[in-house]
Each structure stands twice: as C-alpha cells, then as structure tokens.
Amino acid sequence: MSYAGPEFDSPQPRRPRRRPLTLALAVLVPGALLGWLVYAGVSGAADGGGTTAAASPRASAPPAVSSTTAEDKKPLGSLRGKVVVIDPGHNLTNFRHTAEINRKVDIGTNRKECDTTGTSTNAGYAEAKFTLDVAHRLRTLLEKRGATVKLTQDGDRPYGPCVDERARIGNNAKADAVVSIHADGASAGQRGYHVILPGRVHQGIADTRRIVAPSARLGERIAHDFGRATGTAPSNYIGDGTGLDTRTDLGGLNLSKVPKVFIECGNMRDSKDAALLTSGAWRQKAAQGISEGIVSFLHGQRSAR
C-alpha cells in the first residue's frame, strides 16, 4: 500500500543539515542489526529450532508424538472391545420350580444345587429383584463406556440358569470380567458388603489356577470402588474388615475360566442395610461402584500388557 504525505515528498536540496541524522542512522542500524542477530541465535538455540519464541507462541512446546496405536486412539476410559458378563443372582420365579433348582450339578469339588431362591428383606423385597435391577443399571453404565455386556439371565427364563451354566455363559463369551451380583441373608446387626473371590481349585472339571490372581485384582478394585461410591463399610462379619472373602464351594466360581467374582452388596435381613438395598438412588450408587471397579481392573490389565 502506498501513502502520499509530507514524510514521503521528494527530498529538498538542504543535504548538509541532514548529515547528523544520516551519521546517527549509520551508527545505530548496524548495531541494531547485530543485536537482533545475537538474539535470534540465542532464542533459536533455546527453543531447539531455527525460529525464535516470538515467531510462534508454541515454539517452546514439546513436539507432538505422531505415531499412535489403535489403543491410544480410544477415548479415555473407553471399554471398546471389552466383554463384561453380569450375572444377576437367582431368579424371581425359582420358587415355582423347586424340582429343577434342587437338581444337583457338578461343580468340580462336589455336586451342588442348580440354584436357590435367594433371600429377601423382612418386608418381602426379593434378592432376585434387587440383583436384576442393579444388573440393568450396571449394564447401562458399562455400555456407555463402549463395553459389550451380556447378562446370564434377564428375567426371561422360568428359573435359573443353574450355577454351572452361569459359569459357561461367561466362558463362552470369552469375557474379560464377570461379576455375579447378590445380597446376603445374614442375621440382623451383621452389615456391610463383601466380595467373594475364587480360591485355588484343581479337582474334577474345575480348575481355577489361571484365574485366581486376576480375579483377586478384580475383586479388590470392586471392593474399593463400591465402598467409596456407596459410602458403606466392608462387612463386619466376613472378611475381617477387608471386604474380601475367598471360597472354593461356589460352582459359579469353580467352573469359571475367566476372571470372576461375586459381590454381596449388603445384608437384606438387617433393617439398616435393607433401607439402602431398597432405595433406587442407593442401587444406582452400587452399580456405579461396581462399574468403576470393573473399569479400573480392565484398564489395569491394558497397562500391564
């Protein structure tokens, strides 16, 4: 752009009067140029490149890593590609099929009933109703994170499934984690939650040797996050305050070939625990705590690889 004005008029013939200014400029310009060159060199060395920090406000930032894997591109907290099986304990209509649920099935260490009716609060709120409600809430939370979620039963069966079939469902799904949801039926005054871990079993058709360690990690994460999310304490009657209990007499654990735990969310026979278990808001917290434990476990697995 050109600009016509008095500062750009043709020079007048009074050159001697401009000589001091010309001399000053002759001195100052090379000095300024030399100073700029020194500054540019120092700045370029400081930010590791040939440009100065003033040239770009991001010049001093570390270079971005260009190589990424498919795992790195997953959103933070994503469970895409992971399979979780949720096992809602018992079945609301088991009581109508006593012959079927009393049938004995092989659990490796011995033979045990196909299933049971479960327990209930003193007011009649059934454990099976509780477990299915929490399972639905948990499924929603996990699916939002991208997991593939399967239920062993969704209120769509006349009874069961039997404990051995519950284990097979998780095995056949090649699940990354399986959680069986329950609520206990202990004496009044016995309160709190606990997570049941599979013990080491290698007998008959049962072999838990490969899943004991990962199941323990899964159980520990769930116990921690469940207590934090629900604001409840670990069991005061099982687990010595740890909220963890190891057993070898449960077919659902003995026959599992993938990481699996049970969680007893509280005691339905204690009035204070029952008040929590029958609250929809608390059941949402319970599902949230279990979900966070599963997410923590699965991301821990990913980091270990």
Q: Give the residue numbers annotated as catalytic, written as ranges.
A: 264
The CA distances from residue 41 to 32, 37, 52, 73, 293, in Å, are: 14, 6, 8, 38, 54
Q: Which residues contact 90 (CB under 8 A, 6 or more apart)?
A: 115, 116, 117, 118, 126, 127, 128, 131, 182
Largest CA distance in the chain: 122
Which of 216, 247, 217, 246 lies closest to 108 in space, CA to CA?
Answer: 247
Strand partners, 120: 126
Q: How many CB atoms lie within 10 A of CB 175?
A: 23
81 exposed, middle or buried (CB, 10 Å; 0-12, 13-18, 19+)? middle
3-state secondary structure of 262: strand
